Amino acid sequence: METIIECTDVKRIYSSRTRTGQKRETVALNGLNLQVSKGTVFGLLGPNGAGKTTTIRILSTLLIPNSGKATVAGFDIVKEASEVRKRIGLILGGERGLYGRLTGKENLNYFAAINHMSASLSRRRVDEVLKMVTLTEAKDRPVEQYSRGMRQRLHVARGLLTDPEILFMDEPTIGLDPVGAQELRQMIPPMVKEGKTIVLTTHYMSEADELSDRIAIIDRGAIVAEGTPSDIKRKFSKVRIFEVLSRQSQTNASGELASIKGVERVIAGSDGALLKLTIHVIPGTDISEKVTEILGRANVESCITREPTLEEAYLSIIK
């Protein structure tokens, strides 16, 4: 598959000064390497401050790396920034980035103008994207009167306005209600089918799992795991999951289970009247006997071993 985005040993350091004038440096990216294939969704996951947004900002030409090289659609993001900009769309999460006193339609008209769109194309596309994000009825209202979800949908509309080849989505569903988030997620597969490439950052693991062809987990400015969602769960996950349903709840059961050798984490929940224990164990560890012993054979309704979900795998990788 053709590589459309490539980062090689990209480093980005933010410098600032304290009130006493001392220089303070924050390493946002520490030798980032990644490749994104054309026509795929690439999910970028990581904790806050890991470097996801910095990566998106570098790839969208808003930031220059301190060292390393990055290309988008074959163009260098520093030397050929203007070529990159013609091919990308950018959706940043949050409430900033729109002209609050202008209407949704006026906002889009402006972004169409700075993208050199002709009057007829602008009119057609503005109507299309407003319809896509179900803002047609609200198009003539000032954006400052929009709800957070509506603003986020307008961000999405702006990102799609130029029908870009590559779309960077930084937490696009933040602030959307479940229906709105699902509607946005449903827009992604058809775009990929058309050949678009999407780089998506999100904190919602199910969203990344559902949409991404490949996922990279970034931590402290470097990629610590990369592969398909299944790869992340199978190869990179540092845990396997034991799921136990028990009839009787023992107050100290979780503590006792956590002390078993090979157990990383015990999460207690309920499933109706039953106690549900999700036990993260180091792969290759069999704790079923000890679990039965602690909870009592008669109490154990079921005990199954399963692959971790993406969230469980993620939590095991990012400690």
The residue ranges that bind other proteins (CB under 8 A) are 12, 14-16, 53-54, 57, 60-64, 82, 85-88, 90, 92, 94, 96-102, 106, 109-119, 121-122, 158, 162-165
Nearer to other proteins, 2 or 289 (CB): 2
Closest separation in Å from C-beta 90 to other proteins:
5
CA dist., res. 202 & res. 116, Å (int): 31
Q: How far apart are CA 215 and CA 2, in angstroms?
A: 17
CB of 117 to other proteins, least distance (A): 5
Report, in angstroms and rounded to the nearest whole number, the Rg of the chain calculated over CA atoms: 23
Task: State how beta strands 300-306 and 263-271 pair.
Answer: unpaired
Q: Smallest gap, in angstroms, from Cβ of residue 163 to other proteins?
A: 6
CA nearest neighbour of 28 among 41, 19, 17, 16: 16
Q: Which helix (H) or strand (E) holds 157?
A: helix 148-160
Kindly state the smallest distance separating residue 200's Cβ from other proteins, in Å.
17
DSSP labels, 77-95? TTTTHHHHHTTEEEEE-SS
Q: By C-beta, is 116 or 306 nearer to other proteins?
A: 116
Distance CA 209, CA 207 (A): 5
| Cα of 71 vs its chain's centroid, Å | 21
Choose between 57 and 185: whose C-beta lies nearer to other proteins. Answer: 57
Q: Is 205 in contact with 309 (CB distance < 8 Å)?
A: yes
Nearer to other proteins, 146 or 314 (CB): 146
Q: Considering the complex, what minimum distance in angstroms separates the CB of residue 180 from other proteins?
A: 21
Closer CB to other proteins, residue 123 or residue 265?
123
CA distance 52 to 5: 15
- Cβ-in-10-Å burial (0-12, 13-18, 19+) of 289 comes to exposed
Cα(285)–Cα(288) distance, integer angstroms: 9
DSSP 18: -
Closer to other proteins by Cβ: residue 1 or 113: 113
Nearer to other proteins, 56 or 291 (CB): 56
Distance of closest approach, residue 183 Cβ to other proteins, in angstroms = 23
Tell me the closest approach of the beta carbon of residue 144 to other proteins, in angstroms: 11
